[in-house]
Structure 1
Amino acid sequence: MQEAPAPTGPHALLRNHELRRTPPRLRVLALLFESERHLSITEVCEQLSTSGRAVHPTTVYRTLETFTAVGLAHAVHGPGATRYGITGDPHHHTVCQRCGRVEGLASEHLTEAAARIAALTGLRPDSSGALLVYGRCPGCSA
């Protein structure tokens, strides 16, 4: 008999990480799941406010820091504001040096490059297995 897959909705994830399931945490986590990109604290606040689910900026900050501390989310530091995304399949990030936009990039797309960088320099991905690749996004390179 096969095991059922672990539940992955916001309620289940908070429970699995032994975090209280408060309305603000559920709202922030649901937004991170719904978003197709990594978001700054300001963007999280704006999107929650626009949707009628406003959460105080201090609460958003503390929530994202808590999610990062338990491995539920990850922070990408780059130019501009830190951006947050859901921790899921291992992936790398591209970061625009002009606007700070962060995009996820599946690990398999950089496996050979990461191995080559390690062989040449000894530099290895961070503890999450991620590399940051800096450049300019299509909007900023035009």
Structure 2
Amino acid sequence: MTTIATPDLPALLRHHGLRCTPSRLSALKLLSVSGSHLSSAEVSAELKRLGLPIDQTTVYRTLETLTETGLAHAIHGPGPKRYGVSSEPHHHTVCETCGQVGELPVEQLREAVARIAELAGLHADASASLLIYGRCTRCST
């Protein structure tokens, strides 16, 4: 997963019209350095492990706020919704068995997305995203 640079997350939050609260700052930093898509429960558990016991409901609301403002994105799959951040446009794969989320760089699927948009009669812009469900290598054996 491509992560965002983390040098000035408070300024990034303010730039998106958000107050820089401890829960927002901690969740955004965790997502930006995690290298994976995490559920709200996983974010909450990791923050507690790091000594930042933020209530599970606050973590969920924080992740939803980060998603609404475009600082994070959410992936629906089997199991809980997973959240991630990235500075690079990408598509996602989701394992239907374990819920693992992977990323596919946009440039590798540019022609496929254009063809899908054409077949579907969509006018897809640069932010068009594919969500591909299947079984990961670990679950397909």
Using the size of structure 1 for normalisation, the TM-score is 0.86
Q: Could you tell me how far apart the structure 2 residues matched to 1:126 and 1:60 are?
A: 32
Aligned to 1:132: 131
Q: Could you tell me how far apart the structure 2 residues matched to 1:107 and 1:76 are?
A: 16
Matches within 5 A, 1:70-109: 70-109=69-108
SS at match of 1:18: coil
Instruction: Return the letter of the residue paired with 2:76.
Output: H
Aligned to 1:56: 55
Contact 1:125-1:131 at 8 Å conserved across structures: no
Contiguous gaps of at least 5 residues in structure 1: 1-6
Q: 1:65 to 1:129 in 2, by over 3 A?
A: same
Equivalences, count: 136
Comparing 120-129 and 64-73, the one that deviates more: 120-129
Q: Could you tell me how far apart the structure 1 residues matched to 2:14 and 2:32 are?
A: 16
Aligned to 1:37: 36
Among all aligned residue pairs of Structure 1 and Structure 2, give the percentage whose two residues are the same amino acid: 56
**Cα offset, 1:109, TM superposition:** 1.2
Instruction: Return the letter of the residue paired with 2:75.
Output: V
Instruction: Return the letter of the residue paired with 2:34.
Output: S
Q: Tell me which stretches of 4 or more aligned residues in structure 1 moved more than 3 Å.
A: 123-128
**Cα offset, 1:9, TM superposition:** 2.8
Contact 1:32-1:39 at 8 Å conserved across structures: yes
Q: Choose between structure 1 and 2 for higher RCO, CA contacts under 8 A separated by at least 6 residues.
A: 2
Aligned to 1:3: none
Q: What is the CA RMSD across the aligned residues, in angstroms? A: 2.0
**Cα offset, 1:126, TM superposition:** 8.7
Q: Could you tell me how far apart the structure 2 residues matched to 1:116 and 1:127 are?
A: 14
**Cα offset, 1:136, TM superposition:** 0.9
SS at match of 1:72: coil
Using the size of structure 2 for normalisation, the TM-score is 0.87
SS at match of 1:138: coil
**Residues 80-104 of structure 1, C-alpha deviation per residue, up to 9 Å, x if partnerless?**
1111111422111000010111112
Q: Could you tell me how far apart the structure 2 residues matched to 1:61 and 1:110 are?
A: 32
Asked if 1:114 is matched to 2:119, the reply is no
Q: 1:64 to 1:126 in 2, by over 3 A?
A: farther
